[in-house]
Amino acid sequence: MTREETELLSWIESLLADPNHARHPLHEALELLYHYHLEEKARLERMVSISDNYQRYAREDHLSVRQRYDKALRRQEKLSRISDGFQQLMREHNIALKQDSTHDPLTGLPNRRMIGERLERDLNDAGRRSLGYTLAMLDIDHFKQINDRHGHETGDQVLVAIAHIIQQELRDYDLCARWGGEEFLLLLANTHLEEGRTIVDRLRRRLSKIPIVVGDVTLSVTASAGLSEHCAGEDPLRETLLRADQALLRAKRGGRDRCCVSHG
Amino acid sequence: MTTDLNIPGSQSTPAIRSDWQAGLLTMQGDSYPENSYELFDQVIGWVEYFIGHESRPLSLELELVYLNTSSVKAMMDIFDLLEEAHLGGREISVTWRYDPRNERIAELADEFREDCTFPFAITPTRVET
């Protein structure tokens, strides 16, 4: 209540209480008006108070909804973050599995499965290819002796070194796979037989010249190779590869450390 | 005392075992079940019952590897229950073991740990040589 209001009300009260005015014609009207005012005032205060409470309640409610929403949002974000993490993990495992299933774990070279798939694919794409390719089956001479003399551990490291030398010697678009044991299959893309022979001979020379050092063992190796060029309509795995294998056999029977070609 | 859980693991579900007397719950393996609610409802039920009917400490030993989204959610729900109990004064501890060759699991376990104030250890398992 303001000071003016308090003063007004106490003035009216004292007027009404004064016995001198009791018989005044306006006394009753003023008294009624005075009480009416007090009731209205109380009503107004109650309304304001209800309204204030209501507003406060609505605000608190809003805040708590907001808090719950923020909490749910944070939780959702956390859930997606962790879930994404697990998915990424799964993806990386799949990539690693794919790598494991298509590569030789020792040398890191593509394995039989991968080169087989590549040859199958090339067979299907054959119509689009302008140049053929040559397969070379490469066998390290007397490799068993290395294993027997120095142990398998050393033999394995020699194979890793050989794989490294072969890869350095080949072009980016060639493919070298570990076919098994000490046998490597080279896929020389866009390459005719004679060019393939030049490449393989260069590779064999390099292999025989580079000393391979494993621990305190230093050795060098020679290799025999059989080459075949893929002919149109030929099944790469059943026919071309078989011819390369037969050529390799001839190279070995002919005294090793040499290259034989199959002319189809 | 409620029935203890003894759910054998499968390729897509973790092995889950509870020990009421010891106040211990263990979960091991991959979790991408067809119906993860059915599976985890039992686990959440057991944890709620233990917290509600016992005042002894509760420990979780986890060795989970791959979790799909609904399993991640279920684990978050379990950790929330544990956090609530811990704030209420209960002794709670979690140990999450992981294969050290798979550090990423530790990183993900650490993300779970983020909002937990109870002891939560993430420890590498010993590698068998």
Q: What is the pLDDT of residues A185-208, one digit of tens each?
A: 999 988 999 999 999 999 999 999
Residues A33 and A137 in one domain: no
Q: With respect to residue B6, please indicate whether it lies within any of the assigned structural domains.
A: no
Domain boundary among A102, A120, A146: A102
Q: With respect to residue B129, please indicate whether it lies within any of the assigned structural domains.
A: no
pLDDT over 70 (residue B128): no
Residues A121 and A201 in one domain: yes
Q: Which residues contact A210 (CB under 8 A, 6 or more apart)?
A: A165, A220
CATH of the domain at B59: 3.30.750.24
Size of interface A-B (CB pairs under 8 A): 37
Q: With respect to residue A203, please indicate whether it lies within any of the assigned structural domains.
A: yes
Residues A92 and A126 in one domain: no
Interfacial A residues in 88-117 facing B (CB < 8 Å)? 88-90, 92
d(Cα A257, Cα A221) in Å, to the nearest integer?
9
- Type of residue at A72: A
pTM comes to: 0.68
pLDDT band at residue A118 using 50, 70 and 90 as cut-offs: confident
Residues A138 and A196 in one domain: yes
Number of domain units in chain B: 1
A77: which chain B residues are within 8 Å (Cβ-Cβ)? Answer: none
Out of A75, A78, A92, name the one closest to residue B111 (CB).
A78
Helix segments in chain B, DSSP class H = 36-53, 69-87, 103-113
Quote ipTM for the complex: 0.89
CA distances from A189 to A102, A112, A119, A130 (A): 19, 17, 11, 11
CATH of the domain at A129: 3.30.70.270
A96: which chain B residues are within 8 Å (Cβ-Cβ)? Answer: none
Domain boundary among A58, A82, A102: A102
Residues A123 and A244 in one domain: yes
Residues A226 and A140 in one domain: yes
How many angstroms separate the CA of residue B52 from the nearest CA in chain A? 24
- Sign, CA dihedral A176-A179-A183-A185, equals negative
Residues A121 and A207 in one domain: yes
Inter-chain residue contact A85 with B66, CB threshold 8 Å: no
Domain that residue B17 falls in: 12-124
pLDDT over 90 (residue A33): yes
pLDDT tens per residue across span B77-118: 999 999 999 999 999 999 999 999 999 999 999 999 998 999
Nearest CA in chain A to B68: A83
Number of domain units in chain A: 2
Check residue A61 and give its pLDDT. Answer: 93
Check residue A233 and give its pLDDT. Answer: 83
Residues A157 and A177 in one domain: yes
Residue A5 is a catalytic residue? no
Q: With respect to residue A107, please indicate whether it lies within any of the assigned structural domains.
A: no
Q: With respect to residue B76, please indicate whether it lies within any of the assigned structural domains.
A: yes
Residues A249 and A171 in one domain: yes
Residues A231 and A188 in one domain: yes
Domain that residue A155 falls in: 112-262
Residues A122 and A81 in one domain: no
Domain boundary among A64, A82, A102: A102
Check residue A234 and give its pLDDT. Answer: 87
pLDDT tens per residue across span A50-96: 999 999 999 999 999 999 999 999 999 999 999 999 999 999 999 99
How many angstroms separate the CA of residue B89 from the nearest CA in chain A? 23
Q: With respect to residue B7, please indicate whether it lies within any of the assigned structural domains.
A: no
Label residue A150 left, alpha or beta by phi (over 0 means left) and psi (-120 to 50 means alpha). alpha
Residues A66 and A191 in one domain: no
Q: Which residues contact A34 (CB under 8 A, 6 or more apart)?
A: A12, A13, A16
Q: With respect to residue B65, please indicate whether it lies within any of the assigned structural domains.
A: yes
pLDDT tens per residue across span A143-170: 999 999 999 999 999 999 999 999 999 9
> Of A7, A117, A182, A195, which residue is the catalytic one?
A182
B105: which chain A residues are within 8 Å (Cβ-Cβ)? Answer: 89
Nearest CA in chain A to B80: A75
Check residue A208 and give its pLDDT. Answer: 95
d(Cα A157, Cα A214) in Å, to the nearest integer?
7
